[in-house]
Amino acid sequence: MAIKHFLQVSDFTLDEFEYVIERTRIIKRKFKNYETYHPLLDRTLVMVFEKNSTRTRLSFEAGMQQLGGAAIYLNTRDSQLGRGEPVEDAAQVMSRMCDIIMVRTFGQDIIDRFAKHSRVPVINGLTNEHHPCQVLADVFTYIEHRGSIKGKTVAWIGDANNMLYSWLQAAQVFGFHVNVSTPKGYEIDQSLVTPGNSNFTVFANPSDACVGADLVTTDVWTSMGYEEENAARLKAFDGWIVDGAKMQRANADALFMHCLPAHRGEEVAAEVIDGPQSVVWDEAENRLHVQKALLEYLV
Ligand code: CP
């Protein structure tokens, strides 16, 4: 039987997402009720981090522990991973010792090669191109607050990054639309858009992209690994901050999301992220719950 991986949003069908979302509701309820639930007793997750993390590490590690299993953290400093061992070899070895693997790395090609040589499911914990676990949490958070996301409009304000590409794939699967506004020089790379995806519209002006939106979302402007470009980015992104004026253009019941970490006064104004439309703390917490459902499903 083919091994099921979660390397990008398009790896799952709508039926699979609906199953995982339903399981998330149940697993979250158990967590809130302090109910012991150990479907992954004696199972082991290995987490490979080539880039830093707070939320992803914490949610996978805590989640695996809460499901009765164990999580092992590996990074490139304290293992052989940063010393030239081929990812194909690392995948073979890890997948003979563990039941599931999460990888945070640079290029999607690396995780694709890793998955090809793994005997167990591999989850993408972020690559330069995709961040499917975060978008799963975001979609779940939207559904929790507002019901179905089908037919809704999501405004993406910021550069074309891994979150945007995952949102574009999710729009195709769940049947919603994305209004995209990226600064000049940070536009969508068409090679990362699924052919035939017509579920998005590009706007030159970020305020226009917010008109009629049910959800406005952005991300940190300085992505991991691009810190040296910070000054140039801040200049290019002038005017792209999600502030109260932009939220006013969205629907009255629009939500605001940010996958965090956030920089108040850069990509988002404090009045928005700390305001009544913001659901960023639920969004962050839901990483834990959706990933527990994902781990249960894949293992
Ligand atoms: N949102 C997110 O992936 O956070 P971390 O980089 O802290 O894992």
**Position 224 confidence tier, pLDDT thresholds 50, 70, 90:** low
Residue tagged active-site, from 5, 43, 104, 289: 104
In the predicted model, what is the mean pLDDT of the chain? 96
Buried b (16+ CB within 10 A) or exposed e, 36-60: ebeebeebbbbbbbbbebebbbebb
Instruction: Flag whether the pTM goes above 0.95.
Output: yes
Tokens of 123: 């989850």
**Position 77 confidence tier, pLDDT thresholds 50, 70, 90:** confident
Is 134 an annotated catalytic residue?
Answer: yes
Is 169 an annotated catalytic residue?
Answer: no
- pLDDT at 282 (0 to 100): 98
Element holding 54 (H helix, E strand): none
- For residue 131, the CA-to-ligand 1 centroid distance in Å is 9
pLDDT in tens, 60-71: 999 999 999 999
Q: How far is CA 34 from the centre of its chain?
A: 26
Contact criterion met (CB below 8 Å) for 165 and 130: yes
Q: Residue 121: left if φ>0, alpha if ψ -120 to 50, beta else—which one?
A: beta
- pLDDT at 225 (0 to 100): 66
The residue whose CA has the least distance to atom 3 of ligand 1 is: 56
**Position 223 confidence tier, pLDDT thresholds 50, 70, 90:** low
The number of residues making up the chain comes to 299
pLDDT in tens, 148-157: 999 999 999 9
- For residue 1, the CA-to-ligand 1 centroid distance in Å is 32
Q: Check the annotation: does 190 bind a ligand.
A: no
- pLDDT at 79 (0 to 100): 83
Looking at the predicted structure, is the pLDDT value of residue 262 above 70? yes
Phi, psi of 13, deg, nearest 5? -85, 170
Phi, psi of 33, deg, nearest 5? -90, 10
Is 219 an annotated catalytic residue?
Answer: yes
pLDDT in tens, 228-259: 778 888 889 999 999 999 999 999 999 999 99
Contact criterion met (CB below 8 Å) for 56 and 125: yes
Ligand 1 pocket list (CB less than 6 A): 53-56, 126, 134, 259-260
- For residue 60, the CA-to-ligand 1 centroid distance in Å is 11
